[in-house]
Chains A and B, each alone.
Chain A
């Protein structure tokens, strides 16, 4: 055995003291990033997830600092799942930045508000005869609003600022339409016309509708659009409240539409486990006649295939009883941290960001629909087509109720099962209703 001599031990002790000193120095000082001071000494920090918009945001931040002397740090955290987790974790540790986004359902948004993390912006929106509020599309603002007597128990008010607007609707490839002998100026308007196109697609051995239905929220989006058209908003919301069962014939009809699409050859082979990014790639590469996608796709398609010739259409009408609707409203929104020391500066920046000039710049650079009404006149023709959908827009955040996530999952996974021929619409409706009843009972218990 080797023994350490006292002298050597003493030497080791002094070295280890030095090493410890360096370690602690690095721990305490090394991890703090050095930031440049702004002219006013004020810095607003924003966490965002929008990879495609980062450069534009940085440019806008530069312009803002030039104008006001206030530094704005846009920090990008992607992908959106990771961003979402970061925001939740930061909220728990009360380390949220001055401005952040909430990428979640209204239920989670309400929890952020109730926990005191989000500032109520109503007073700022309403000042000077509601000057700021009036700049936005009402539907964009509604996504960030809690109305009086909402089911979430949140005090009525506006809690977020929309930066852009989106609509999710149907797109069609004009070149493939011509190849199929169809008129690209007249996309199918009714359900039967749509199914007839499916038959043509099948005959021509082409692929029909592509969408990221591996991500179940896209299925949810289309299913609720169909439901609005077939049963109307009131009955739809009554289902969420538990007053109408999913086994109702109207809901069976909604589910049957997916089976009809599959049977008529309208659906892209393999879309039930496809992520939306792949679906966008397929449509951009002209391998599918239709796509069900959001207005953010304009930028994506332009990047992948600038020559893609496509049009935007409303969902084919299934019933004449109620209007067709599309999901739409605020695409991306920013919230102000309620405990931020720079709250006023943060709000001032958001006001500036949503002014016409900045919104026009943002829309031109990122090919997203602006949230400011005044900026809508300066958009490209394809974006203008998407903007028409705003007239028919609805959004889960404006419904005042959220469906239980377990029911939504059962319903949407059930749609996948219908498409792969594993279950009937009646079976799926029955299963969703069973879970709904279980969740309602649990809610009462709690």
Chain B
């Protein structure tokens, strides 16, 4: 009994540093953010005014820009889920086959994610600039002058441009995870399928796709979490403009805190945003569990 207790205590002792670090850097700040969300505070004065759930009420009922920013982040996420991940999967699939220079392609495809978001944003801003931008210059040279526009200043195109650049910047991660997933599929399965007379398309449909479902779900969750929280690229490209057309939740939180000096409100926004992300991740998790169970 004594030995068991000692062993248990030892185990707890080993877990203790991780628990302390987690508590200091995650649990305590989170609880503080929640409590600050119940106050009106400018981030400077030592006194705070308790306002209860008023900040949360304002977010839900009096802040249409916040919800617009949520919808816009959602739109960028949908584009990323579809285009970024499909592109990442197809390129990973191509690189998994016996093609020439496949290592070279792997290197090239993984370059965008390792570039600085600010640099990427500024380079694309220059490409998409309305007066002297590279894209408009190409369109003019191709005789498509009627298509030229100020891509980042036009409300019809600004958000989609940001979404496309985000996809370009982020597809390398998905590519890498998909490639790793593809490489875990035993080659014997494909050989057996070929012996049974299955075409490449059938092998892809019946072997590759089903075995890649868990990987696809993981990539989807990471894409949702990463895209919903995107903001550096957006600051560099449009600063959230024109007007509110490329605003996303993190930019709104930053604006509340930095520009308006409403720390309490910004904390409440952070809590609401965090809960939404956790809910989305949970739904994804449940969905993946169910798919896996069905697959088994």
Contact = CB atoms under 8 A, between A and B. Distances in A.
Interface of A: 81, 84-85, 88, 91-92, 104-105, 107-108, 111-112, 114-115, 117, 207, 214-215, 268-270, 272-273, 275, 287, 405-406, 409, 413-414, 416-417, 419-420, 422, 438, 446
A437 to B, nearest CB: 12
A85 B241 CA distance: 23
Interface in B47-81: 49, 51, 62
A417 B243 contact: yes
B239 A115 contact: no
- Closest 6 A-B residue pairs measured CB to CB? A405-B260, A111-B44, A273-B241, A272-B242, A214-B239, A417-B243
A321 B197 CA distance: 90
Contacts of B262: 405
A270 B153 contact: yes
Interface centre among A88, A207, A270, A275 (most CB of B within 10 A): A270
Contacts of A85: 258
B242 A406 contact: no
Q: For chain A, what secondary structure do more than half of its interface residues adopt (helix, strand, loop), or is it mixed?
A: helix
B150 interface: yes
A270 B260 CA distance: 26
A409 B258 CA distance: 13
Given A84-B258, A405-B261, A409-B260, A269 B242 contact: no
B117 interface: no
B146 to A, nearest CB: 16
Nearest to A416: B243
Contacts, number: 83
Given A115-B44, A446-B49, A273 B258 contact: no
Contact of B43 (A88, A273, A416, A420): A88
Most chain B CB within 10 A, of A85, A413, A446, is at: A413
A114 B45 contact: yes
Given A214-B241, A417-B242, 13 more contacts: A104-B261, A107-B261, A108-B261, A117-B44, A269-B130, A270-B129, A270-B130, A270-B131, A272-B242, A287-B132, A409-B259, A413-B241, A438-B62
Given A112-B44, A115-B45, A406-B260, A416 B241 contact: yes
Contacts of A84: 258
B46 interface: yes
B191 interface: no
Contact of B152 (A112, A270, A406): A270
B238 interface: yes
Interface residues of B, number: 31
B132, B158, B239, B241: most-surrounded residue (chain A CB, <10 A): B241
- The interface residues of chain B, by DSSP majority, are classed as loop
15 contacts: A112-B44, A115-B44, A115-B46, A270-B131, A270-B152, A272-B241, A273-B242, A275-B239, A409-B255, A416-B241, A416-B242, A416-B243, A420-B155, A420-B243, A446-B51
Given A214-B239, A214-B241, A420 B42 contact: no
Contacts of A419: 242
Contacts of B260: 405-406, 409
Contact of B259 (A91, A112, A114, A405): A405
A422 B45 contact: no
Contacts of B242: 272-273, 416-417, 419-420
A410 B132 CA distance: 30
Contacts of A438: 62
A334 B13 CA distance: 51
Contacts of A207: 131
Contacts of B129: 270
Contacts of B243: 272, 413-414, 416-417, 420, 422
A270 B258 contact: no
Contacts of A413: 241, 243-244
A188 B239 CA distance: 32
Contacts of B40: 446
A273 B42 contact: no
Interface in B235-263: 238-239, 241-244, 255, 258-262
Contacts of B244: 413
A111 B45 contact: yes
A273 B239 contact: yes
A275 B241 CA distance: 11
A81 B239 CA distance: 14
